[in-house]
Amino acid sequence: MDIDLAILGANRARFEEYEVQVRAEYAWVPELIFRQKRAEVLAEFLAREPIYNTTPLHNALEHQARENLAQSLQQLRDGNY
């Protein structure tokens, strides 16, 4: 599962590109609903302790993943998504 979550710990530019791709995939979902549901998903990942269970990925990606998730959550809540 850690491999599937590796994108969360990508550099900020790549993570933002990924978030744009996710929004495009769900373009049919109204903006308000998308922001609410996406925030719920990201908050669940952020609440995980730890996000990554394998030592190499935890050491390499945990900090960046938490920064990415927190920034994206703030953008979603502010409506700047």
Q: 76 by DSSP, 3-state: which?
A: helix
Give a yes or no: residue 16 inside a domain: yes
Give a yes or no: residue 73 inside a domain: yes
Range of the domain at 42: 6-78
Give a yes or no: residue 58 inside a domain: yes
Give a yes or no: residue 1 inside a domain: no
Q: Please give the pLDDT value at position 69.
A: 98
Angle CA 61–63–66, to nearest 5 = 105
Q: Would the pTM count as exceeding 0.85?
A: yes
> Which residues have C-beta within 8 Å of that of residue 75, sequence separation ≥ 6?
81
CA distances from 45 to 8, 14, 30, 38 (A): 9, 18, 23, 11
Give residue-wise pLDDT tens across range 6-62: 999 999 999 999 999 999 999 999 999 999 999 999 999 999 999 999 999 999 999
Q: Please give the pLDDT value at position 80.
A: 77
Q: Please give the pLDDT value at position 76.
A: 94
| DSSP conformation class of 27 | T
Give a yes or no: residue 59 inside a domain: yes
Assess contact for 80 and 36: CB atoms under 8 A: no
Number of domains the chain is built from: 1
